[in-house]
Chains A and B, each alone.
Chain A
C-alpha cells in the first residue's frame, strides 16, 4: 500500500478525517480560494458606490456627445430671431424642430443646419381628426394652392404677413 506523503498524513491525522473526506475538503478550499481571488480581480473597482452597479457608468452615460444643441445655444448667435419669435405663437417652438439638429452647426458655423421646406409646416399643421381642436390645422389640398407656405406666412412671426 502506497504511503501518503508525510505532510498530508500529518495534516490528515491532525484533522482526524477519513482520506476521501480530507481530499475533498482540500479541493473545496481550493475552489473557494480561486473564486475569492477571481472576484477580487474581476469585480470592477467602482462597483457598489451608489448601488449594485458600476458607478463609472454614470460618468460614461453623461459623457456622450450631443446632436441637438438646444434653444439657448441658438440664441447665443441668433438673438434677433428669438426676439421676433418671442411675441408670437411659435415662441415655444424649438429651432431645431424645423431647422434640424444643430450641434454640429453650433460647434462650427460653417456647417449649415438643414433648412426645411414645405414639409416642415405641414407636419404639424396638416388637419388630422386625432389632433386637439385648439391646434391650428389646415386641409392642405384645399388650402390656397401656392408653392410655399412662406409665400403667405412668416414662420417666425406666424400672425404677420410677409
Chain B
C-alpha cells in the first residue's frame, strides 16, 4: 500500500511531465512560426537565431579612413541624411608635446566630418607636430550588459539570441531613453520614423549568409566579422583574436562590450 506522501509526489511528477509535454509542442510551434515568419517576410528560410553568435571586431591598424563603410551603411539601411549615423569613423591626431615642457604628449584632436562619409582631408596640425594619427571606425559595441536594452520601458530594443542588438521599429514609442543610456553614442532618433535607430549588424544580410554592408565594402579588412558559434580557427574573426591584443571601450561602465579594438590608444573613449 503506497503512502499518501509518495502518491502525492508521484501525481506531482506526472503532472509536471504532462505539463512539459504539452508545453513543448506549443513552444515548438511558436518557434517554428517565428522561423517561418523570417522566411515569409523575405528573410532566410530556416534561419535559427539560436544557432549563431555574430560579432564584429575592428583592426585600427588597417583602417585608412576612406569612409566607404559609412557610405555603404547609409545606403544599405536607408539611414536619413543629416547627423544620423549607424556607424562612423573618427580620426585621432595626437600631437607632440611643446618643446621644453615635461609632458609626454601634446593635445589630442578628434574629428569626424560628417561621420567620415566622404573620407578625411589632411589633418589641420602641421606634420612635424603629429606624434600619432589613426582612424577608428565606430559602431554599436554589442554589449553583453546593454544599458540600452535595460533602459527601454516597453521592450522595443533587445538582445537577439544571435548577438545583434536590435530595435523593433513597430513597437518603439520614441521616448529616447535608450539613446541617452548608450555610452558610445551609437543610437539616434530617426526624423523619419520617430523611433530609435542603430546599427543592426545588417541583420537582413547576415541572416542570408551575406556580410554587413560596412564589412563588405571595407578595402583593407579593418572590420572583421564572423560567427563565434560556427567559425573555424582559420576564419578571419578567430585569427583576429589569436593575433591581436585588444581593448574594449569604456570598460569601467560595466557594459561588457563584445566589439574589440586592436591598435587603439588610451585617447580613444
Contacts and interface: CB of A to CB of B under 8 A. Distances in A.
Contact of B34 (A46, A70, A128): A46
B211 A70 contact: yes
Contacts of A65: 42, 204
B82 interface: no
A51 B164 CA distance: 13
Contact of A60 (B33, B170, B208): B170
Contacts of A64: 42, 77, 203-204
Interface in A42-59: 44, 46-47, 49-59
A126 B119 CA distance: 10
Contact of A62 (B121, B170, B204): B204
Interface stretch (B68-76, B242-250, B253-261): B68-76
Nearest to A61: B203
Contact of B217 (A47, A53, A57, A97): A97
Nearest to B42: A63
B49 A58 contact: yes
B177 interface: no
Contacts, number: 160
Summarize A's interface: helix, strand, loop or mixed.
Answer: loop
B217 A56 contact: no
A71 B205 CA distance: 13
A49 B78 CA distance: 29
Contacts of B207: 62
A63 B207 CA distance: 9
Interface stretch (A4-12, A78-86, A130-138): A130-138
Contacts of B168: 53-54, 57, 60-61
Interface string B10-54: 000000000000000001001101100110111110010100000
A123 B119 CA distance: 7
A52 B49 CA distance: 16
Category for how many chain A residues contact B? 35 or more
A147 interface: no
B159 A51 contact: yes
Nearest to A139: B122
A52 B150 CA distance: 10
B135 A130 contact: yes
A128 B120 contact: yes
B91 A130 contact: yes
Interface stretch (A22-30, A31-39, A88-96): A88-96
A69 B164 CA distance: 21
Nearest to B122: A128
A141 B142 CA distance: 42
Nearest to B161: A50
B181 interface: no
A124 interface: yes
Given A61-B164, A92-B219, 5 more contacts: A50-B161, A53-B157, A60-B170, A128-B121, A131-B65
28 contacts: A49-B27, A49-B31, A50-B34, A53-B155, A55-B34, A56-B37, A57-B158, A57-B168, A59-B41, A59-B43, A61-B200, A61-B204, A62-B38, A62-B44, A63-B42, A64-B42, A66-B204, A66-B205, A68-B213, A70-B216, A92-B219, A97-B68, A97-B219, A130-B65, A130-B93, A132-B63, A132-B64, A135-B220
